[in-house]
């Protein structure tokens, strides 16, 4: 199951939603709203823990960050942010520090560690 | 090892300039981020974020009381030697004369008045002092009268440093506190008579707000829980919050939950029961009745209306 939207690529594998931003110079509020709407539509009411790769992000506006930290975490039990550079690590840390997210979120540079972290948040099908 | 040319390039100078602007109280500048996303971009991103936060904070504080900005700020040491100043456009300090001490800047009469007050000021008990109006020597020997307040620096230095604030004498100036006060602490016992807002209250209200946001998708927290997370008593927290946000804590929380829930109503097909659960309501009937109280319609009616508006 895969979705290619204007600003991101998403797919689900083994109960985890993989979310990779496309190259966006500035992630503003309008783009953030489009991203969240497309994600919700893709998820179709099913919550998934998210592995989010932010290597293509450059800057995120304050309004977009506020939006992602509140409405943007609907249907997400937990988030693992994958950062492959020091710049993105700091970007992620600033996001977590200044926008109190109501869901568990951690930063990883190693994909396998991120996946191991998200395992416990996968919903078991009844 | 980077060479000086590699370090002191245009982007590095942008960082330096932005930091200097911040040091002078100007938080409006933003540093452009390049595609390299290297250490300079990382620093630039952090500076931009800090500027946004500081600007928001000071704008909020400014709303509570309106004072004029100082025309000039000087920093002197205990020998009254001038260390730095904010008059980069030479609006007060003459371009021709390079001042070394404060006396170079004051008129003859101004020096006498300053000295008189300087020796009268008990610096051990009072951190600041109002010197009244003194004449500064501007360009072409014109006089610039300024209302002078002097504040002792709190930095732990061997020699004492002093900030001299020069305000327009026609405008209101901030009142000086008569006793030493640490604005980040709350005071036990009696309330301050003038009930003025402090940075501590501002930050407390912000912490309460952040705690409410954190719990927005979990069950509605009690005042005790919020106060504990914000690190204050319930009454202090309630007062600081209401002063800043204009509403009681729980009332604000309820409104924000209901507002946030409209997002799921508009953008998804999730059942009302699940929406109410997602936003911390124990029963959907509680959610529906609060929703109707705020919006005049039920969540289902709201959803249908949003769908209709979207497709017409």
Q: State the residue for tokens 């014109």.
A: B142
Q: What local confidence, expressed as pLDDT, does residue B197 receive? A: 55
Cα B69–chain centre separation: 15
Range list of H helices, B85-198: 108-120
Q: What local confidence, expressed as pLDDT, does residue A82 receive? A: 94
Cβ of B263 within 8 Å of Cβ of A74? The answer is: yes
Please return the burial class of B249, using the count of CB atoms within 10 Å of its CB with bins 0-12, 13-18 and 19+: buried
- As a whole number of angstroms, the distance between CA B134 and CA B111 comes to 8
- As a whole number of angstroms, the distance between CA B87 and CA B120 comes to 28
Which of A26, B303, A31 lies closest to A39 in space, CA to CA? A31
Beta carbons of A44 and A36 less than 8 angstroms apart: no
Chain B nearest C-alpha distance from A96 (Å): 12
Q: Which residues of A fall within a CB distance of 8 Å from B39?
A: 86
Beta carbons of B43 and B50 less than 8 angstroms apart: no
Residues of chain B with pLDDT under 50: 178-196
Which of B218, A64, A104, B54 lies closest to A96 in space, CA to CA? A104
CA angle B198, B199, B205 (to 5 degrees): 95
Beta carbons of B49 and A94 less than 8 angstroms apart: yes
- The long-range contacts involving B227-231, CB below 8 angstroms and separated by at least 24 positions, are B230/B204, B231/B204, B231/B207
The domains of chain B, with CATH numbers, are 4-55 (1.10.8), 72-167 (3.30.450.20), 198-312 (1.10.10.60)
Q: Which of B41, B258, B271, B279 to mutate to test the interface with A (most CBs of A within 10 A)?
A: B41
Q: What is the pLDDT of residues A24-74, one digit of tens each?
A: 878 999 999 999 999 998 998 888 999 999 999 999 988 899 899 988 888
Strand pairing category for B143-152 and B161-167: antiparallel
Q: Does A62 touch chain B (CB under 8 A)?
A: yes
N-terminal to C-terminal alpha carbon distance within chain A: 21
Q: What local confidence, expressed as pLDDT, does residue B196 receive? A: 44
**Domain boundaries, given as residue ranges, for chain A:** 18-119
Q: Which residues of A fall within a CB distance of 8 Å from B217?
A: 73, 102-103
Nearest CA in chain B to A45: B270
Chain A nearest C-alpha distance from B221 (Å): 13
Longest dimension (CA), chain A: 42
- Kindly write down the DSSP assignment for every residue of B269-296, as one continuous string: ---HHHHHHHTT-SSHHHHHHHHHHHHS
3-state secondary structure of B69: coil
- As a whole number of angstroms, the distance between CA B203 and CA B253 comes to 18
3-state secondary structure of A48: coil
- As a whole number of angstroms, the distance between CA A20 and CA A57 comes to 10
- As a whole number of angstroms, the distance between CA B201 and CA B204 comes to 5
3-state secondary structure of B54: helix
Please return the burial class of B22, using the count of CB atoms within 10 Å of its CB with bins 0-12, 13-18 and 19+: middle
Q: What local confidence, expressed as pLDDT, does residue B199 receive? A: 64
* Phi, psi values for residue B102, rounded to 5°: -65, -35
- As a whole number of angstroms, the distance between CA B263 and CA B245 comes to 22
Q: What local confidence, expressed as pLDDT, does residue A78 receive? A: 92
Q: What local confidence, expressed as pLDDT, does residue B194 receive? A: 43
Within 8 A by CB and 6+ apart from A106, the residues are A79, A80, A81, A114, A117
Cross-strand pairs, A11: A2, A18
3-state secondary structure of B40: helix
Q: With a CB-CB cutoff of 8 Å, which residues 251-290 of chain B face chain A?
A: 260, 263-264, 267-270, 274, 278
- As a whole number of angstroms, the distance between CA B277 and CA A74 comes to 12
- As a whole number of angstroms, the distance between CA B304 and CA B104 comes to 75
Question: Which architecture does CATH list for A18-119?
Answer: 2-Layer Sandwich (3.30)
């Amino acid at each position: 199951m895969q979705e290619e939207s204007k600003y991101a690529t998403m797919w689900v594998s083994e109960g985890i939603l993989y979310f990779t931003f496309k190259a966006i110079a500035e992630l503003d509020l309008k783009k953030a709203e489009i991203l969240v709407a497309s994600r919700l539509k893709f998820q179709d009411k099913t919550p998934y823990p998210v592995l989010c790769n932010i290597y293509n992000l450059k800057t995120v506006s304050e309004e977009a960050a506020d939006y992602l930290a509140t409405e943007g975490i609907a249907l997400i039990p937990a988030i693992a942010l994958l950062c492959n550079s020091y710049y993105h690590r700091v970007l992620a840390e600033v996001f977590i520090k200044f926008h109190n997210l109501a869901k568990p979120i951690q930063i990883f540079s190693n994909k396998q560690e991120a996946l191991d972290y998200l395992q416990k948040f996968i919903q078991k099908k009844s | 090892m980077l060479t000086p040319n590699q370090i002191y390039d245009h982007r590095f100078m942008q960082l330096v300039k932005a930091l200097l602007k911040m040091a002078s109280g100007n938080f409006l500048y933003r540093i452009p981020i390049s595609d390299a996303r290297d250490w300079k971009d990382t620093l630039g991103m952090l500076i931009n974020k800090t500027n946004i936060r500081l600007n928001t904070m000071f704008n909020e504080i400014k709303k509570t009381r309106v004072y004029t900005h100082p025309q000039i700020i000087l920093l002197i040491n205990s020998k009254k030697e001038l260390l730095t100043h904010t008059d980069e456009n030479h609006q007060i300090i003459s371009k021709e004369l390079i001042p070394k001490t404060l006396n170079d800047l004051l008129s003859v009469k101004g020096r006498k008045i300053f000295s008189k007050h300087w020796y009268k000021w008990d610096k051990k008990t009072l951190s600041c002092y109002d010197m009244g109006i003194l004449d500064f020597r501007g360009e072409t020997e014109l006089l610039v009268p300024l209302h002078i307040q002097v504040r002792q620096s709190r930095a732990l230095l061997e020699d004492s440093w002093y900030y001299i604030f020069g305000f327009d004498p026609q405008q209101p100036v901030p009142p000086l506190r008569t006793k030493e006060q640490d604005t980040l602490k709350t005071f036990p016992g009696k309330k301050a008579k003038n009930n003025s807002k402090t940075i501590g209250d501002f930050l407390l209200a912000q912490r309460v707000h952040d705690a409410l946001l954190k719990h927005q998708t979990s069950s509605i927290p009690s005042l005790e829980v919020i106060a504990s997370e914000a690190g204050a008593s319930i009454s202090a927290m309630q007062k600081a919050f209401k002063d800043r946000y204009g509403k009681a804590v729980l009332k604000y929380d309820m409104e924000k939950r209901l507002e946030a829930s409209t997002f799921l109503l508009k953008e998804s097909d999730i059942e009302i029961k699940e929406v109410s659960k997602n936003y911390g309501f124990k029963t959907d009937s509680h959610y529906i009745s609060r929703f109707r109280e705020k919006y005049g319609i039920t969540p289902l009616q709201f959803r249908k209306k949003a769908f209709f508006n979207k497709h017409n």
